[in-house]
Structure 1
Amino acid sequence: MLVRPYEESDQSRVIALWRDCGLTRPWNDPSKDIARKLNVQRELFLVGVVEGRLVATAMAGFDGHRGWINYLAVAPDHRAQGHASALMSHIEALLVEAGCPKINLQVRSSNAEAIEFYRRIGYAQDDVVSYGKRLIPDTPAA
């Protein structure tokens, strides 16, 4: 798998992948999420390509205290081939290079496959409660 930075021409394929992987939600417009990311640390938005097909994504960030991972996705027919691990390794190396001491991420409690994946690659559940507050409401694109 070739790992490279996201390009604007990837948008429709990225959104389709996120939908195929069950990552989209009505309250998060994926087009707006992408546009926001391109304004902040766009170099930490990566895609994975196999034989010309976009099959994986990862969106990361670093706020000077913690790194964050969002939208790790691998096409269902390309799973169990090491693509997610390769993408995470790439992201982790970029974050270490930026001086990031720790990565945080959130996984929906119903996503047992993702929870097991993160455990396998060395992540552990922190004893925290996650809170959120929407500051700018999204209306999904039609």
Structure 2
Amino acid sequence: MTHQDLAIRAFHPSDEAAIIALWHECGLTRPWNDPRKDIARKLSVQSDLFLVGEVDGVVVATLMGGYDGHRGWINYLAVSPSHQRRSHATALMRAVERKLLEMGCPKINLRIRSSNIAVQRFYEGLGFQQDEVISLGKRLIPDV
């Protein structure tokens, strides 16, 4: 199966349970982030950048993109383990890159865990490079 079998579309509210299950399956959820709240927040801002990939009507991939007027951002790129290594993640990245470029976005940033070498190599294969920055964060609204 190749990425041509992947139908990419915007998120529908009926996708929520399948997407949360996919994020759990891919190890993307954390105890301090409520995935339902993350979805609700995304739907309130640039919901057209919340992409879903389906094969035969089944959700197998997601990507949550964003653009703040300065940089594009990628979050929650996930492909079901049973559908990995079929170019689905690349297809989702290319789709969001096209959308961001249409919005005038000059650069995309993303964060990955430093221990995730396979994902680092995936992004390097798409032309991403490590920026010389330190990522800092501050929670304003606790999820739990």
TM-score band by shorter chain is: over 0.9
**Candidates 53, 61, 67, aligned match of 2:72:** 67
Question: 1:15 and 2:38 equivalent?
Answer: no
Q: Which amino acid is the alignment partner of residue 111 of structure 1?
A: N
Instruction: Specify the alignment match of 1:49 in structure 2.
Output: 54
Q: Which amino acid is the alignment partner of residue 80 of structure 2?
A: A
Superimposed CA distance per residue, residues 46-85 of structure 1 (whole angstroms, 9 cap, x where no aligned partner):
0000011100000010010000000000000101100000
Residue 121 (structure 1) shift:
0.9
State the TM-score, normalized to the length of structure 1.
0.97
Residue 105 (structure 1) shift:
0.2
Counterparts of 2:116 and 2:31, CA distance in 1: 18
Counterparts of 2:139 and 2:120, CA distance in 1: 25
Q: Which amino acid is the alignment partner of residue 17 of structure 2?
A: S
Aligned residues: 139
User: Cα RMSD (Å) of the superposition?
Assistant: 0.5
Q: Secondary structure at the match of 1:107?
A: coil
Counterparts of 1:83 and 1:48, CA distance in 2: 8
Instruction: Specify the alignment match of 1:116 in structure 2.
Output: 121
Q: Which amino acid is the alignment partner of residue 28 of structure 1?
A: N
Counterparts of 1:24 and 1:80, CA distance in 2: 22
**Candidates 98, 103, 122, aligned match of 1:93:** 98
Q: Which amino acid is the alignment partner of residue 70 of structure 1?
A: N
User: Identity of paired residues, percent?
Assistant: 61
Q: Which amino acid is the alignment partner of residue 87 of structure 2?
A: G
Q: Secondary structure at the match of 2:65?
A: strand
Residue 106 (structure 1) shift:
0.2
Gaps of 5+ in 2: 1-5
Counterparts of 1:42 and 1:103, CA distance in 2: 17
Gaps of 5+ in 1: none
Q: Which amino acid is the alignment partner of residue 137 of structure 1?
A: P
Residue 113 (structure 1) shift:
1.5
Q: Secondary structure at the match of 1:70?
A: strand
